């Protein structure tokens, strides 16, 4: 790899490397890291509107919409009209809940490996730095 002092380049390299580890682990259940993250956000938020979900994930609505369609086609998510007819709500299907249950131990294994690789102090420092940049 070409050395660089560019913060953007280094962050993108690190992001791709970490994402690849999660993607490799989650492939066993047919998910990628981004899909798993989306499913978990929906699970944690309950039945969010698309706007609330986009805000929680830090995504624009068009990017989120493309990702939602893929998971909806796999019958892992369902989109429905909200009480406010101008909004749509996202909910997990039973298949989505099952897929999360299958994927969670795989995600936790990678999480544990990365935590061990960094050590507690460096992990905490990294989390603070990333939060400051976000």
Q: What is the pLDDT of residues 78-109, one digit of tens each?
A: 999 867 656 789 999 999 999 999 999 999 99
Mean pLDDT of the chain: 94
Contacts 24+ apart (CB under 8 A), 58-63: 58/134
Record the pTM: 0.89
Task: Give the count of alpha carbons within 13 A of 133, CB side only.
Answer: 9
Residue identified by tokens 């050590």 is 119
Q: Quick check: 52 pLDDT over 70?
A: yes
pLDDT one-digit tens code per residue, 13-24: 999 999 999 999
Percent of the chain whose pLDDT exceeds 90 = 86
Span 66-70, average pLDDT: 94
**107 falls within a domain:** yes
Q: Give the integer Cα–Cα distance in Å for 40 and 99.
A: 10
* Residues spanned by the domain of 121: 27-133
Q: What is the pLDDT of residue 134?
A: 84
Domain membership flag for residue 57? yes
> Which CATH number does the domain housing residue 107 bear?
1.10.10.10
Q: Residue 40 domain-assigned?
A: yes
pLDDT of amino acid 85 = 59
Total domains in the fold of the chain:
1
């Amino acid at each position: 790899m070409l050395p660089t002092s560019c913060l953007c380049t280094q962050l993108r390299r690190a992001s791709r490397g970490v994402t690849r580890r999660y993607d490799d682990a989650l492939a066993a259940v047919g998910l990628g890291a981004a899909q798993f993250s989306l499913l978990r956000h929906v699970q944690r938020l309950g039945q969010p509107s698309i706007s609330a979900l986009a805000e929680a994930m830090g995504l624009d609505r068009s990017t989120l919409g493309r990702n939602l369609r893929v998971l909806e086609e796999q019958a892992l998510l369902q989109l429905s009209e909200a009480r406010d007819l101008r909004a749509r709500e996202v909910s997990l299907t039973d298949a989505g809940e099952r897929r999360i249950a299958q994927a969670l131990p795989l995600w936790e294994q990678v999480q544990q490996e990365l935590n061990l690789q960094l050590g507690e102090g460096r992990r905490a420092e990294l989390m603070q730095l990333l939060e400051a940049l976000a």
